[in-house]
Amino acid sequence: MASAAERLRVLFLCTGNSCRSQMAEGWARALRSDSIEPYSAGTEPHGLNALAVRAMAEAGVDISGHTSKTVDSLSGVAFDYVVTVCDSAGKACPFAPGAAKVVHVGFDDPPALAKFAKSEADALAHYRRVRDEIRRFVETLPKALTGDSIMNKPECCDDSCCAPAAPDANTVRDQVREGYAKIAQDGCCGPSGGGCCGPSTFSPDQLARAIGYSSSELGVVPHSANMGLSCGNPTAIASLRPGEVVLDLGAGAGFDCFVAGPKVGKTGRVIGVDMTPDMLAKARRNVASYREQTGLDNVEFRLGEIEALPVADASVDVVISNCVLNLSPDKPRVWREIARVLKPGGRVAVSDLALVRPLPESVKADVEALVGCVAGAVLVDETRAMAAAAGLTEVALTPKPQYIDAMTNWEDPLYRRIVESLPAGSKPSDYITSLDVSAVRR
């Protein structure tokens, strides 16, 4: 081990010094004590987080003896680096003592991710994911501290270092969560109709058959699981096999999970993730009916955001999703999460909406269009680029504009309103397409 004088003194800084910074200090002591002398502190410390302590203990690191400290209490320590591990660490704008260099490496806030968790088990899944992300970062130290993210400033960190998270992303998530909570409570599309689903004159089953689901597939799905929220059939392009582990992003009431379950059989597993507690509750209620109809007990549902999946690394054979990815305000991160959870050789099978050309601003600003999976869509080429940037290969995109034409012909209220916002002579399929996406993790 290097002498104390040779080791880098690193302060892990977060607002509360209760969770992320404590995890970082714990990992640094466990993994990098040969080169790092770690500390942690907060701008507004409020004690250790019990679930963070538990998650770290599961990984073999005991932080139960740590104390939650203020930055001022460490004013006598000459740090080489200050690493801010949360986006809000700059709110009080603490100065970097001496000649310390400031590095911002923001991690998600586990308590915020677990805000809507219905059980401790649901909450712990978020803590474990962030714990493992922090470990991966600490494993790169001290090399990572010499990268381009360093701010060689002894003064208060500025917006380039630790700016608050963009409020727009949180606003979008809240809008989507509220919109889909209403759908879960009121039935398909809510009272206003529209939104990734057929109009009131078409039942969810009619829509499902129109976009490729067979009668045998629909026969095993609990009736209330099909809410007409599909824009394709990802299980059809996934080529699911018995024994595989399948992850459904934005599972809703469980429709595609229940379609996938019989395909992977009793030796397989299907995990549905959704960020809307009302949808999750509906999906879990549907499990009993699924078990009764199929005799299978291979489907489960977890609360979580698709940008921060409560799923272990390299644990999934196939990731599916149906008309959900375009709802995310951080799509590149979703694709990175997909790559993270897939096993080597694992597959992606996604049905989504994408743009052939940019939408008019009047449509993009429409909240109902956002909840209807339209305003948040990106260009087809952007989807390809994001999947490739995440490390996925064999990316194949198959546009299906006929879905959009059908929605327009069926007088779907949302699509009719979009027509009214388009230039004269245009139709929605000139801008929007249903898109099948397949890819493979190296």
pLDDT of residue 226: 81
User: Considering 14, 157, 162, 197, which one is annotated as catalytic?
Assistant: 14
Q: Is 189 a catalytic residue?
A: no
Greater confidence, 378 or 227?
378
On whether the CB atoms of residues 288 and 319 are closer than 8 A, the answer is no
Nearest to 279 by CA among 260, 306, 314, 298: 306
CB 397 within 8 A of CB 199: no
- Which is catalytic among the residues 19, 86, 323, 373? 86
CATH entry, 8-165, from 3.40.50.2300, 3.20.20.140, 3.90.780.10, 3.20.190.10? 3.40.50.2300
Q: 14: buried, middle or exposed (CB in 10 Å: 19+, 13-18, 0-12)?
A: buried
| pLDDT reading at 367 higher than 50 | no
More confident residue, 50 or 199: 50
Is 86 marked active-site?
A: yes
pLDDT band at 308 (very low <50, low <70, confident <90, very high): confident
List the structure tokens of 143.
Answer: 């090399």
Domain 8-165 and domain 169-441 have a common topology: yes
Residue 227 has pLDDT above 80, yes or no: no
Selected residue with higher pLDDT from 108 and 273: 273
Q: What integer pLDDT is reported at residue 354 of this predicted model?
A: 86
Amino acid 263: pLDDT: 96
Q: Report the mean per-residue pLDDT for the chain.
A: 80
Q: Which two tokens stand for residue 151?
A: 């701010």
- Single pTM value for the model: 0.62
Helix (H) or strand (E) holding 135: helix 120-139
The verdict on whether omega for the bond into residue 360 sits within 30 degrees of 0, i.e. cis, is no
Structural tokens at position 373: 């999976």
Q: What's the mean pLDDT in 156-161?
A: 39
Q: 373 catalytic, yes or no?
A: no
Q: What is the DSSP string of 215-269?
A: HHHHHTS-GGG--S--SS-HHHHHT--TT-EEEEET-TTSHHHHHHHHHH-TT-E
Q: Give the position of tokens 């809000």.
A: 88
Level-2 CATH architecture, domain 169-441: 3-Layer(aba) Sandwich (3.40)
Whole-number Å distance between alpha carbons of 158 and 170: 22
Place of tokens 């915020």: 112
Sheet holding 299-303, edge to edge: 299-303, 269-274, 245-249, 316-322, 342-355, 432-441, 392-400
Is residue 313 within 8 A of residue 285, CB to CB? The reply is no
Whether residue 324 contacts residue 306, with contact meaning beta carbons closer than 8 Å, is answered with yes
- Nearest-10 Cα torsion for 379, 383, 384, 390: 150
- Residue boundaries of the structural domains of the chain: 8-165, 169-441
Tokens of 37: 């002398």
Give the integer Cα–Cα distance in Å for 335 and 387. 6
**CA 282 to each of CA 225, 274, 286, 327: distance values in angstroms, whole numbers, following the listed order:** 8, 11, 6, 20
